Structure 1
């Protein structure tokens, strides 16, 4: 006989955490379909995109910069960057002033794959979130506010 377990929400449709988890899994599945042919994972794309974004204003992007830009764990970033280096998408060079840091740059192959991946991922996002219609900007504002509110939690 099942135990009498108390739930705050009466239905999974009332639970924002459950719904977010389900939506995230479906979105990740969609992203995987478009990124697999490019030999990228979602995490690799996020870090490449962070590098690409930061490289627009800095010639000395570091692993810490990429971790901060992407809200990612520094150790995980290190491992993923190693994989991206093995794939020939990034290079690491000595930092001109900080002996502990490496400057991370996109290679030509990395810039090309990033551009293709961004195009594919963005098209997939538009299709995935199309139900939001004209409310997409409001949906994005709400997500941004939740990220900011919980960043240091």
Structure 2
């Protein structure tokens, strides 16, 4: 049976460019936040040379993985219930017995448990994340940083001050930003080539590298974080009084993972 066309899951240019970035993580992006508001890391995060999902600050960087773009679901296979014809056209909802799925399949559509696309939390997160990442890319472009570069540079600036005199290792930074270790290493080499940080052998562990942000890197991180946080403030403004509860829900999802 041929499924009906799927609705547009991306809604923004964010997803189309994510794989081309040398990266993006999740969460907010202030020094105090880099510890990690969760962000949804998308299917292309491994191809980015990195974006932690979620927000992107020194203190929140722990989530910066990036959300994949509108085509990622087609490449990797979309889960039932996401961007589907059955959802967009409003198939019968599942009541726990699978009735909605049976009805959708019987009509030649997708056997989804949702009666409409707007009932899928995953699809909504996909759409909103694409829009948010597009906004952040635009905000960071004047600073010559991709989203993941910003998250790692801001996170390093935060950790170096917060955990001194202990050295910050690549592993510690990757854990804080919730980024893939190999991707983290690639992004750090690019930042090192620009003179924004240094990488040195660990004094007590031959397998580890210690990181230090340079004065130029610190200045750039502090300039960029102001732009990233202003972007967040504008993007999440429609939540108004619900913003704290939304942030708490993101923390709950991050902890559950």
Extract structure 1 runs of 4+ deviating beyond 6 A: none
Deviations 1:24-47 (A, max 9, x none): 110000000011110101111111
Per the TM alignment, residue 16 of structure 1 is displaced from its structure 2 partner at its CA by: 0.6
Tell me whether 1:106 sits opposite 2:213 in the alignment: yes
> Matched residues in 1 for 2:191 and 2:183: separation?
12
Q: Secondary structure at the match of 2:256?
A: helix
User: Which structure has the larger Rg over C-alpha atoms?
Assistant: 2
Q: Is the 8 A contact 2:154 2:222 kept in 1?
A: no
Which structure has more helix as a fraction of its residues? 1
Tell me whether 1:52 sits opposite 2:120 in the alignment: no
Alignment of 1:1-150 (within 5 A): 2-3=2-3, 4=108, 5-56=110-161, 57-59=163-165, 60-150=167-257
| Structure 2 unpaired stretches of 5+ | 4-107
| Structure 1 unpaired stretches of 5+ | none
> Matched residues in 2 for 1:90 and 1:147: separation?
28
Deviations 1:96-126 (A, max 9, x none): 2112111101111110110011000000000
TM-score (norm 1): 0.93
> Matched residues in 1 for 2:125 and 2:113: separation?
17
Query: What CA RMSD, in Å, does the superposition of the two structures yield over aligned residues?
Result: 1.2
Q: Secondary structure at the match of 2:239?
A: helix
Per the TM alignment, residue 137 of structure 1 is displaced from its structure 2 partner at its CA by: 1.2
Q: Secondary structure at the match of 1:32?
A: helix
Q: Secondary structure at the match of 1:109?
A: helix
> Matched residues in 2 for 1:11 and 1:109: separation?
50
How many positions carry a matched residue from both structures? 150
The worse-fitting range, judged by mean Cα deviation, of 55-64 and 119-128 is 55-64
Q: Secondary structure at the match of 2:198?
A: strand
> Matched residues in 1 for 2:114 and 2:196: separation?
46
